[in-house]
C-alpha cells in the first residue's frame, strides 16, 4: 500500500533542490542512463518561475566533467547550478591551512589542483571507488595515527549507491572504518550536513522552509533536508528500496514514483 501524502506540494514552494544520481540518472559504466521522464521534468522545472539547484555528493569526477557527462545523457545543467562537496572542502582546507592526503578517484583530482598536498596533515576521503584499496586506506590510517590532532574529512557519508545496476559501497563505510581504527570522528562535508544544504538554498535567495529537496537517499537526502528545515521528498528510483517506506528514523514529507511525478505535483501547486 502506497501512502498518500499531499501536504508537501500544497504548501508554499519558492525553490527546488534536486539530487542528481538516482533522481536524474543512474550512473553506470557507459556514462549512465537517464531515468525515464527526468530529462523532461528538469526542463519543465527550469522553464517555470522556480529556482532550481542540484545538491549532490558526487565526488568521482570534476564538476566540469559531471556537466559534460550529464549533457551526453540529455540534461543541460550549468556548473554554477551544481553544489558538490569538492569545492566546499577545498574552501575549508584553504581556510584552515590543511594539506590533505586524498583518497578520491583519479578523475576528481583536477578539482584539487589548487590545494597543497605536500607533507599532509589531514585526510580527505570521497567516493574513491577502486582507490579504496588496502594500501591507500593504510596510508590514511598511518598518517592519522601520527598526527597529534588527527583530522579526517569525509565527502558525504552515504552507505551505498547504484552503479551499473548494482548497489556499491559509498564513502560512508570507509569513513566508519577509519573512525573505528583511529578512535576519531570524521567531519562530514556534503549531505546530510545542514551547512552543505544551506549553501545551495542561500544561492537561490530563499528560506529553507519554502524549499523542497527531491532525492533517492532516505538518510542523506531526505533526513538531511528535513534537518535543514526543508521538505524532503523521496523518489522510488535510484537506490530507493521498499524498506525505506518504513524507515526507523526518517519519515519523508512525501514519496513519488520518480522525478517526473514530483515535478507534476510541484508545478500543479504553483499554477493554482
CB of 168 to its own copies, least distance (A): 5
Nearest to 171, CA basis, from 146, 201, 191, 148: 191
Q: Rule CB under 8 A: say whether 78 interacts with its own copies.
A: no
CB of 244 to its own copies, least distance (A): 12
Size of the site for its own copies (CB under 8 A): 31
* Phi-psi domain of 228 (left: phi exceeds 0; alpha: psi -120 through 50; beta: other): alpha
Contacts 24+ apart (CB under 8 A), 39-42: 39/73, 39/74, 39/75, 40/260, 41/258, 41/259, 41/260, 41/262, 41/263, 42/18, 42/75, 42/77, 42/259, 42/263
Site for its own copies in 152-211 (CB under 8 A): 159-160, 166-170, 172-174, 176-183
Q: Of 151 and 181, which has the nearer Cβ to its own copies?
A: 181
Q: Rule CB under 8 A: say whether 251 interacts with its own copies.
A: no
Check: CB of residue 13 under 8 Å from CB of residue 266: yes
Nearest to 171, CA basis, from 153, 184, 185: 153
Applying CB under 8 A, which of residues 138, 185, 202, 207 lies at the interface with its own copies?
A: 138
Applying CB under 8 A, which of residues 33, 91, 145, 257 lies at the interface with its own copies?
A: 145
Looking from the CA of 48 toward its CB, the CA atoms found within 13 Å total 22
Look-up: residue for cell 526542463? 43
Q: Rule CB under 8 A: say whether 148 interacts with its own copies.
A: no
Residues in the chain: 272
Q: Applying CB under 8 A, which part among 47-55, 71-79, 130-138, 209-217 lies near its own copies?
A: 130-138
CB of 164 to its own copies, least distance (A): 11
Q: Applying CB under 8 A, which part among 71-79, 85-93, 134-142, 225-233 lies near its own copies?
A: 134-142
Q: Of 205 and 248, which has the nearer Cβ to its own copies?
A: 248
Applying CB under 8 A, which of residues 8, 9, 132, 240 lies at the interface with its own copies?
A: 132
Strands 33-34 and 25-26: antiparallel
Residue 167: CB atoms within 10 Å:
12
Q: Rule CB under 8 A: say whether 147 interacts with its own copies.
A: no
Q: Of 150 and 254, which has the nearer Cβ to its own copies?
A: 150
Check: CB of residue 212 under 8 Å from CB of residue 13: yes
Q: Rule CB under 8 A: say whether 149 interacts with its own copies.
A: no
Site residues, its own copies (CB under 8 A): 128-135, 137-138, 141-142, 145, 159-160, 166-170, 172-174, 176-183
Amino acid at each position: 500500500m502506497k501512502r498518500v501524502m499531499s501536504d508537501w506540494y500544497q504548501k508554499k514552494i519558492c525553490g527546488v533542490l534536486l539530487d542528481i544520481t538516482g533522481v536524474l540518472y543512474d550512473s553506470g559504466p557507459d556514462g549512465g542512463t537517464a531515468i525515464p521522464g527526468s530529462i523532461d521534468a528538469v526542463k519543465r522545472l527550469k522553464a517555470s518561475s522556480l529556482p532550481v539547484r542540484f545538491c549532490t555528493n558526487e565526488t568521482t569526477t570534476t564538476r566540469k566533467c559531471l556537466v559534460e557527462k550529464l549533457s551526453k545523457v540529455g540534461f543541460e545543467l550549468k556548473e554554477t547550478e551544481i553544489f558538490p562537496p569538492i569545492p566546499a572542502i577545498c574552501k575549508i582546507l584553504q581556510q584552515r591551512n590543511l594539506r590533505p592526503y586524498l583518497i578520491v578517484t583519479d578523475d576528481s583530482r583536477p578539482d584539487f589542483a589548487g590545494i597543497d598536498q605536500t607533507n599532509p596533515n589531514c585526510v580527505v576521503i570521497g567516493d574513491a571507488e577502486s582507490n579504496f584499496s588496502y594500501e591507500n586506506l593504510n596510508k590514511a590510517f598511518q598518517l592519522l595515527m601520527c598526527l597529534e590532532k588527527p583530522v579526517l574529512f569525509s565527502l558525504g557519508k552515504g552507505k551505498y549507491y547504484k552503479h551499473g545496476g548494482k548497489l556499491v559501497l559509498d564513502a560512508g563505510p570507509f569513513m566508519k572504518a577509519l573512525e573505528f581504527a583511529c578512535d576519531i570522528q570524521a567531519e562530514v562535508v556534503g549531505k546530510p550536513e545542514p551547512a552543505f544544504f544551506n549553501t545551495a538554498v542561500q544561492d537561490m535567495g530563499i528560506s529553507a522552509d519554502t524549499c523542497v529537496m527531491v532525492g533517492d537517499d532516505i538518510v542523506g537526502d531526505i533526513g538531511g533536508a528535513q534537518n535543514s528545515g526543508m521538505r524532503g521528498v523521496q523518489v522510488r528510483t535510484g537506490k530507493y528500496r521498499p524498506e525505506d517506506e518504513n524507515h526507523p528514523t526518517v519519515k519523508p514529507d512525501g514519496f513519488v514514483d520518480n522525478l517526473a511525478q514530483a515535478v507534476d505535483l510541484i508545478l500543479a501547486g504553483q499554477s493554482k
